[in-house]
């Protein structure tokens, strides 16, 4: 293993959204990966060109490395982890998944293993400021955890050591706060589109909603007909919806009403 993060030889296994953003972030702080791997040559070449490193489609041909970050889909991870562990028996190997246990590495026969989980939404086409991203690490021992933590601190001041159970619940919370919210945006866009209205008119509302929870708790920031328990408006809006839209509206409305009742009952 390298004496410092700066001298570490790093390889990225994967070329998707997270692998791309992570590679770019590492390069921006002076840590250019030696190589990237992808099952497809086009993906590997595209990311390698962006980072100025070598591209590979055969894990067994990857160069020697001190730290190997495996950023592939959860479904692909078990098989890829086995290939990575076989190629790098003496290196630190870490995956980036929120809900995959660290135990996947011992099962793959890795000896020095961990998790390097940046909690953010990533897209290849949008740059991410990693200095504002929380990075959560886990390691098979203190040395591994320390190395991953040092690497994370080159990217962000927000670095945390957590266990697998905490990380799994962190990921679920992120799904609610990010993925489900974005799905709501999509539904909002469809409703507006059906009336010939652009989704852009929601931008200021979305921005203000997100800004409020920096100073208020989500419960305190909640507004709307369900929070007010305005049955007339609720029934009027339900009548305008059908299918899944109505089911989701009803489910979320019931949740908001129940949480509002809890707050009222504790005052």
Average pLDDT over every residue of 177-183: 96
Q: How many angstroms from the chain centroid is the CA of residue 2?
A: 28
Is residue 1 over pLDDT 60? no
5 or 264, which is more confident: 264
pLDDT of 3 above 60 = no
For 130-161, what is each residue's pLDDT tens digit? Answer: 999 999 999 999 999 999 999 999 999 999 99
Place of tokens 């991870």: 77
Could you identify the residue written with the tokens 């909640």?
222
pLDDT per position as a tens digit, 27-86: 999 999 999 999 999 999 999 999 999 999 999 999 999 999 999 999 999 999 999 999
> Which pLDDT belongs to residue 12?
98
> What's the chain's average pLDDT?
94
Task: Kindly state the DSSP code that residue 124 receives in the 8-state scheme.
Answer: T
Cα distances (Å, whole numbers) of residue 56 to 26, 68, 98, 122, 149: 19, 14, 25, 23, 27
pLDDT for 34: 96
Which domains are present in the chain? 10-162 (3.40.50.720), 169-266 (1.10.1040.20)
Predicted pLDDT at 251: 97
Predicted confidence at residue 76, as pLDDT, reads 95
Note whether 102 and 85 are within 8 A (CB).
no
Per-residue model confidence (pLDDT) at position 2: 58
pLDDT confidence of 266, banded at 50, 70, 90?
confident
Q: In the numeric block, which tokens belong to residue 130?
A: 């990693």
Q: Mean pLDDT over residues 210-222, rounded?
A: 94
pLDDT at 6 over 80: no
Q: What is the pLDDT of residues 113-122, one digit of tens each?
A: 999 999 999 9
pLDDT at 263: 79
pLDDT score of 164 more than 80: yes
Residues 6+ apart with CB under 8 A from 196: none
Going through the chain in order, the beta strands assigned E by DSSP cover 10-13, 35-37, 54-56, 67-70, 92-95, 112-119, 134-139, 159-161
Q: Quick one: pLDDT at residue 5?
A: 65
Q: How much of the chain exceeds pLDDT 90, in percent?
A: 92
């Amino acid at each position: 293993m390298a004496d410092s993060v700066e001298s570490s030889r790093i390889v990225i296994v994967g070329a998707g959204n997270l692998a791309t953003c992570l590679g770019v972030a590492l390069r921006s702080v002076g840590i250019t990966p030696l190589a990237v791997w992808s099952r497809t040559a086009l993906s590997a070449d595209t990311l390698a060109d962006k980072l100025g490193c070598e591209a590979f489609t055969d894990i067994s041909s990857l160069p020697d490395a001190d730290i190997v970050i495996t950023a592939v889909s959860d479904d692909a991870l078990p098989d890829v982890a086995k290939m990575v562990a076989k190629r790098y028996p003496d290196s630190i190997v870490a995956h980036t998944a929120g809900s995959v246990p660290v135990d996947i590495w011992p099962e793959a026969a890795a000896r020095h293993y961990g998790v390097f989980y940046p909690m953010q939404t990533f897209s290849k086409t949008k740059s991410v400021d990693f200095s504002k991203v929380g990075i959560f690490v886990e390691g098979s021992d203190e040395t591994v955890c320390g190395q991953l933590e040092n690497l994370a601190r080159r990217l962000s001041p927000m670095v945390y050591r957590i266990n697998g159970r905490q990380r799994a619940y962190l990921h679920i919370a992120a799904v609610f706060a990010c993925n489900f919210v974005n799905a709501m945006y999509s539904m909002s866009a469809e409703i507006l589109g059906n009336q010939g209205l652009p989704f852009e008119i929601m931008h200021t509302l979305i921005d203000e909603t997100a800004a409020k929870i920096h100073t208020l708790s989500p419960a305190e920031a909640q507004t709307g007909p369900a929070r007010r328990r305005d049955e007339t408006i609720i029934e009027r809006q339900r009548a305008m919806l059908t299918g899944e839209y109505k089911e989701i509206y009803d489910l979320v409305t019931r949740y908001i009403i129940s949480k509002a009742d809890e707050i009222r009952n504790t005052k």
